[in-house]
Copies of this chain bind each other. A is one copy, B any other.
Amino acid sequence: MPKTITAKEAAQMIKPHSRVMFSTFLVVGAAEQLIDALVEENVKDIHMITIATDYDDKGVGKLITNKQIKSVQCSHIGTNRSTQAQMNAGELDVELIPQGTLMERIRAAGAGLGGILTPTGVGTIVEEGKQKFTFDGKDYILEMPIKADFAFIKAQKADKHGNLVYYKTARNSNPAMAMAAKITIVEVDEIVEVGQLDPENVVTPGIFVNYLVKSEVKEC
């Protein structure tokens, strides 16, 4: 049964050199209040795992703008000028990963796999330094799991067992990241009693969830 904590308490778990997964797809599905709390705590030298670095002033981009991120594994930085500027200045180490490969590497970590073979990236700079395999005339590269110490997840609803459901395209990388971190912290709009979620419709079972943080309702 996950413990309910505050965003500040969640942010305080993160230490320099923590590996943290941030679910977000251009801010949709981002745990924005956890991110804000982490900006507030101003912990430095974080390793970030995310699909995209969002915008300079929104989503996980805030952490980059605030120079809290030492390195990032992601698939897209085109919407965030800070990422590219810090990368060019040698302040931020960026590993760009095809999005499907990124997701499978995260899933592999959560699912206890030692790696996966994907055809994506064959014949490109993505294959550099990686083991290659050919089966039935098709080439694959070996990609390794991406694990994390923490995942900052956003869900629409959680029951008190930590079972989660998401809302529309805000689901994105949340379910995979929830599986892949040692400690999964979920920012959630609504916490309901056990029995209020239909067991058929649970997307992330509570076994993957360690902490819940209730979103504060903000003025729009």
B115 touches A165 (CB 8 A): no
Question: How many A residues have CB within 8 A of the partner chain?
Answer: 24
Report which of B111, B133, B144 forms a contact with A115, defined as CB distance below 8 A: B133
Which chain A residues (20-73) contact chain B, with CB distance < 8 Å?
Answer: none
Copies in the complex: 2
CB of A4 within 8 Å of the partner chain: no
Which of A114, A115, A166, A168 is most buried by chain B, counting CB atoms within 10 A of its CB?
Answer: A114
Q: What residues on B are CB-neighbors of A112 within 8 Å?
A: 118-119
B115 touches A168 (CB 8 A): no
What is the bound-complex CA distance between A110 and B216, given in angstroms? 40
| Chain A interfacial positions (CB closer than 8 Å to B) | 104, 108, 111-119, 133, 135, 138, 140, 142, 144, 165-168, 198, 200-201
